[in-house]
Amino acid sequence: MSGTPMDKAAAARIQAAAAKNNQPTGTDSFPARAQAAADRNANAVMSKLFRIAIDGPGASGKSTTAKQLAKKLGFGYIDSGAMFRAITLKCQQNNIDPSDIANKDKVTEIANNAEIRFPTLDQVELDGQNVSELIRTSNISRNISLVASNWAVRDILANQQRKMAKGEIPGTISTGFERHGKLVKGVVMDGRDIGTVILPDAELKIFIEADVRIRAQRRFDELKKREGDALTETVDDVERDLEARDLADYTRKIAPLLKAKDAITLNTSHLSIEEQVDAIEKMVLERV
Ligand SMILES: Nc1ncnc2c1ncn2[C@@H]1O[C@H](COP(=O)(O)OP(=O)(O)O)[C@@H](O)[C@H]1O
Ligand SMILES: Nc1ccn([C@H]2C[C@H](O)[C@@H](COP(=O)(O)OP(=O)(O)O)O2)c(=O)n1
């Protein structure tokens, strides 16, 4: 795609200067080269990704919003929580208890060797297997905080998350959208430390919140839909689990859940999914 044409006055000025200096004005002329440089510059601006960092506590609506937003804008999507969930699952599959300090190196090895991919907006793959459903059980949620507070695991995943955001590790593709005649490509990443640690210079940072009872009810409904009569937990159980995980996330020493200074708070307690997606889409359009 070519960039914005130089304005006529600038081209005329260059043409006049070239004539004065007796320079050629054909395809290898200064104006032609200046136009090519302007095009390259415009393309460089367009190839810079618009990065949206979404953080917040569990079941506040981050991933639902991030996915729909990514779909609407044609952006890539990286679910950083799913990566911690996948490592927790892999520990369980290998009978490694992450709470046992003696297993520290084994947990690091698991994280180092785990290949986590997002082939579509809704799919999570671990070592080539679709684990999208397996990672969302309450059992994984209850055991994840030990993995999330392991600095070696965080370091390994942080590295992968930054590479994914740059497109250096294959992820969901950004096709982008047209705005003012330019193609805007981007990526949405959600988690706990995206705006503070992973992408501190993201173009837009959102901190999503919702009342804990509302979050518990939403997560309960989701689990009920997935597990049906097999679900043994009540809304109160889900609320207790969420509170315990929030506490672990807010108080851990490394990369705690924190609202970045320049993040915009969005409370979704009384919003519909469509309203929260539209609100962030509006913020994106205001900035590009
Ligand atoms: N505004 C909303 N109204 C009703 N349900 C919602 C809303 N936002 C999210 N949900 C639902 O709440 C549950 C938790 O949302 P999710 O996006 O998974 O949260 P998070 O990624 O923050 O853990 C999902 O089942 C989702 O469909
Ligand atoms: N960037 C991130 C993302 C998730 N985590 C950890 C802490 C979270 O409690 C778990 C699960 O995250 P996830 O976003 O999947 O959880 P919820 O869907 O919000 O319940 O992973 C993290 O430490 N850092």
Domain containing residue 231: CATH number? 3.40.50.300
Domain count, the chain: 1
How far is the centre of ligand 1, averaged over its atoms, from the C-alpha of 194 (Å)?
Answer: 19
pLDDT digits (tens, 9 = 90+) for 163-199: 999 989 887 888 999 999 999 999 999 999 999 999 9
Phi then psi for residue 105, to 5 deg, are -65, -35
Question: Which residues contact residue 270 at a Cβ distance below 8 angstroms, ignoring those fewer than 6 apart?
Answer: none
Residue 12 lies in a domain: no
Domain encompassing residue 110: 51-287
> Is the distance from the beta carbon of residue 64 to the nearest atom of ligand 1 less than 6 Å?
yes
> Is the distance from the beta carbon of residue 249 to the nearest atom of ligand 2 less than 6 Å?
yes
- The residue assigned the tokens 């705690």 is 256
Task: Using most ligand atoms within 8 A of CB, pick from 245, 252, 259 the residue to mutate for ligand 2.
Answer: 245
* Centroid of chain to Cα 266: 17
Residue 156 lies in a domain: yes
Measured from the Cα of 141, ligand 2's closest atom is 11
How far is the centre of ligand 2, averaged over its atoms, from the C-alpha of 168 (Å)?
Answer: 23
Cβ atoms of residues 210 and 61 within 8 Å = yes
pLDDT under 50 in the chain at which residues?
A: 1-31, 33-35, 37-46
- pTM, two decimal places: 0.86
Residue 246 lies in a domain: yes
Query: What pLDDT score does 18 carry?
Result: 35
Residue 70 lies in a domain: yes
Residue 198 lies in a domain: yes
Tokens of 235: 């809304």
Closest residue CA from atom 24 of ligand 2: 192
Measured from the Cα of 194, ligand 2's closest atom is 1
Residue 181 lies in a domain: yes
- 99 three-class SS: coil
Query: How many other C-beta atoms are found inside a 10 Å radius of the C-beta of residue 245?
Result: 19
For residue 59, give the amino acid letter.
A
What is the number of the ligand closest to the CA of 242?
Answer: 2
What is the number of the ligand closest to the CA of 81?
Answer: 2
> Is the distance from the beta carbon of residue 49 to the nearest atom of ligand 2 less than 6 Å?
no
Task: Using most ligand atoms within 8 A of CB, pick from 218, 239, 276 the residue to mutate for ligand 1.
Answer: 218
- The residue assigned the tokens 């009342």 is 211
Query: What pLDDT score does 6 carry?
Result: 38
Residue 204 lies in a domain: yes
How far is the centre of ligand 2, averaged over its atoms, from the C-alpha of 179 (Å)?
Answer: 33
Query: What pLDDT score does 171 carry?
Result: 78
Residue 152 lies in a domain: yes
Query: What pLDDT score does 63 carry?
Result: 97
What is the number of the ligand closest to the CA of 135?
Answer: 2
Tokens of 49: 């990704």
Query: What pLDDT score does 96 carry?
Result: 96
Measured from the Cα of 219, ligand 1's closest atom is 13
Cβ atoms of residues 53 and 260 within 8 Å = yes
